[in-house]
Amino acid sequence: MSTEITNHPNPSPEVPQETNRLPVVAMRGVVVFPGMTIHFDLVRETFLHALRAGMGKDRRVILVAQKDAIVEDPKPEDFYTVGVIADLRQVMRTPSGVTRVLAEGKTRISVSDFQKEADDYWTAAYDTLEEIEIPPEEKNEEEALGRCIKASFQRYAELLPQTPEEMAAAIFCEKDIKKLFEQIVFNLAYDYTEKQLLLEENSWLERLRKLYQLMTDELDILTLERQIQAETQESIDTSQRDYYLREQQRLIAEKLGDREDPEAEMETYLEQIQKLPLDEQNRKKLAKEAERLSGIPQGAQEAFVIRSYLDTVLSLPWNKSSKCKVNLEKAANVLNRDHYGLQKVKERILESFAVRALNPDAQGQILCFVGPPGVGKTSIGKSIAKALGRKYERISLGGVRDESDIRGHRKTYVGSMPGRMIGAMIHAGTSNPLILLDEVDKMGNDFHGDPSAAMLEVLDSEQNKTFTDHYIEVPFDLSHVLFLATANTLDTIPAPLLDRMEIVELGSYTREEKFHIAKEHLLKKQLKKNGLKGTQCRIPDEVLYALIDSYTREAGVRELERTIGTLCRKAAKKIVEGDCKKVTFSADTLPEYLGPQKFRPDLQSHEDAVGVVNGLAWTSVGGVLMPMEVLAMPGKGQVECTGSLGDVMRESAKIAVSYVRSVAARYDIPEDFYTKYDLHIHAPEGAVPKDGPSAGVTMTTALVSALSGRPVRGDVAMTGEITLHGKVLPIGGLREKTMAAYKAGMHTVLIPEENVPDLEEVDPVVREHVRFVPAKTLDTVLETALCPKGDTESTVISSTILPTPTACPV
């Protein structure tokens, strides 16, 4: 959770009060222009002090670029003398200790007279640089340069297809020369030294000339690069053609009886075997197989078996590896771009990257991502491989029942082949790929063997250095492979295999997370998949929320993506039929395209009522609001529980009744109620099974309300288990439960006091709108949830968070 520090600037250190002197923050590899809004991270202490000083100096600092971006502790001679005064819009401190800054360039200045302040940061005097405007007689040259720059950018966009379409359209349509200059300089990735030259130029016309020259030079480089790529591709095509022709020549010669010399073939194999990094014993074993070829007819089945075996062994990446350079910033950007949320998972992955950066030979734990379907376990593996620069291979273990699928078959059998591990290594072509073991919890076993037992050697860093496949029969080193695993549950994974993996749990997505994933990823993907542009099909935010709430109920986002795809297809049909050129969906018209709502909102009581309490429950698809109803009727003290309650919840009901008996006098309840009244405890939606240790406080509150006649507040929800003495016990799934309370409009949520630290994981929007009341005992629960004595009117509780630390210490 990032910490906002802009509202509480540190008044120290003191900054000199001259009007033309400000703290200096050096930028590495970045040049800021007036009007440019930029995000950057600060970790160097010198400039953190300058930033804090700038916060107390009208939130302004001087941003200048370093001449050499590698210099860690720059001096005045390392700074350029032209920079900008920037307004500090926002400053955030992340949990990792990095300060994240949002700043906007304002004025172009020249800096001088650098001074080192007491708190070890630099300040500098500055003078505003006036821009030399274009005289009227040179306006035609300005117009000509603008046209030339646009033409150059058009050619640039053609040579670089990955140029964003929105940016290209904005530049092509821009008529203001100054705005055109800003958009190109702000968005194109030129070297910072070249941008610095543009910033230092006072003449507007000369600045345009330099930009045009810069774009012309870049076009020359891109054109040459495209030419080299074309020539390389032509060379590859020629090589492939020659290979096919040689193969045809070999087959024709074989049909005519003009076969290759067996001795030459054996010598070729022996030469390649000598280059393998094997011990002498295994090298002799392979050489013996190659020597057998010389004494076997070329067309014999045994010769075919030996050739296949030797080709498989020689095709393994014995001496090939990918160059993996760990860059945490790049890795974080890749993970954040490909996946929304999952902060703990990303943090654990980055920690693993950091360890490998410090110790490339470290053999860490194998990460196993566990979570429900559709939450992004497999796609995270792809992102990790991309971030590390490793080859990506996926092995699906779902339904694997034969040990030979992992270790391979003996080469003496007909149709024998290596196992999936060796096959993945051959396909990857490197000795250090990333191999994703998908669905590791769905391996079976039968009389063919136990594949999970074969996986023990694969995933043990001390044993897989000499992994031996039954087919190749020589040890192969798997210790450089980065293994990842995915599973939906841990119940079916054998304990020895589970011990070799580190579990990283991926929970179900909340409503807000699904919304952001749909808006930032799924919608764009489906529009492209169905041939639509953003201007042809518009799905507003309220429609995405309606799809999440009323048409999908899942832990992941697969069904949500399919539903968005359905809307895109409906829009495509209307556009192709000519009914319209643009389709805009709304929440009111969704039933017309998708049919009636599949899921209704959670049952809830917004009015103060006797014997009705809003409880919170966790499910595999997120949190839900689960009302609990209690009815007290004259009878003989029987307790009836309905609503498909499991054993745990039935025991909670017994504890609740016993506790109410112990505190009956305190709440004006007849002490003999358990002999004169029958109690009926019911959880609606009786066909849905319910069980779990978090309904004790809900049942107790409903019982006290029903027996005392005091209403329960309708805007209060609660969760927690109890003991016989009224202590509230901690629960799990707080993040999902509080999101359900927020969706249902609950203003106050009662949580166990021991769960207060878990509030850090609750979504910020929920913490902003929901008041959390930690409860150590049931006295706090009943005091908060029950209306005051004699108060029969509905009561609305403030929706703000408690100001005291005891209520919400986050």
**Active-site residue list:** 694, 737
CB 182 within 8 A of CB 188: no
Q: What angle do CA 629, 632, 634 make, to 5 degrees?
A: 155
**Contact (Cβ atoms closer than 8 angstroms) between residue 571 and residue 523:** no
| Dihedrals phi, psi of 690, to nearest 5 degrees | -135, 135
Residue in the structure block whose two tokens are 């920037």: 86
Contacts of residue 414, defined as CB under 8 A and 6 or more positions apart, other chains included, come to none
Cα distance between residue 311 and residue 469, in whole Å: 15
- Tokens of residue 532, six digits: 């639509």
Phi, psi at 43, each rounded to 5°: -130, -15
Runs of H (alpha helix) within 339-403 = 343-358, 377-388
CA dihedral 63, 67, 72, 74 (to 10 degrees): -70
From CA 741, how far away is CA 773, in angstroms rounded? 13
Nearest CA-CA partner of 476 in 442, 536, 513, 428: 428
For CA atoms 130, 36, 17, 25, the dihedral sign is negative
CA 353 to chain centre: 15
Radius of gyration of the chain (CA): 35
* Contact partners, residue 722, CB within 8 Å, separation at least 6: 652, 655, 656, 659, 696, 697, 700, 728, 729, 778
28: closest CA among 79, 75, 77, 62? 79
The Cα 725–Cα 661 span in angstroms is 11
Amino acid at 540: P
Cβ atoms of 365 and 502 within 8 Å: the answer is: yes
For 120, phi and psi rounded to 5 degrees? 65, 45
The SS3 of residue 330 is helix
CA 27 to chain centroid: 28
* Cα–Cα distance measured from residue 41 to residue 169, given in angstroms and rounded to the nearest whole number: 30
SS3 per residue for 183-224: HHHHHCCCCHHHHHHHHHCCEHHHHHHHHHHHHHHHHHHHHH
State how far the Cα of 704 lies from the Cα of 786, in Å rounded to an integer: 9
Got the DSSP string for 439-451?
TGGG---BTTB-H
**Are the CB atoms for 629 and 620 separated by under 8 Å?**
no
Question: Residue 111 phi/psi, 5° resolution?
Answer: -115, 150
The CA-atom distances, in angstroms, between 753 and each of 431, 759, 781 are 51, 11, 11
Q: Choose among 560, 561, 543, 549: nearest CA to 511.
A: 549
How far are the Cα atoms of 161, 321, 670 from residue 164, in angstroms, in the given order? 8, 34, 74
Are 753 and 774 in contact by the 8 Å Cβ rule? The answer is yes
Q: How many residues does the chain have?
A: 810
Q: What is the DSSP string of 681-731?
A: EE-S-TTS-B--TT-HHHHHHHHHHHHH-PPBPTTEEE--EE-TT-BEEP-
Tell me if 776 sits within 8 A of 727, measured CB to CB.
yes
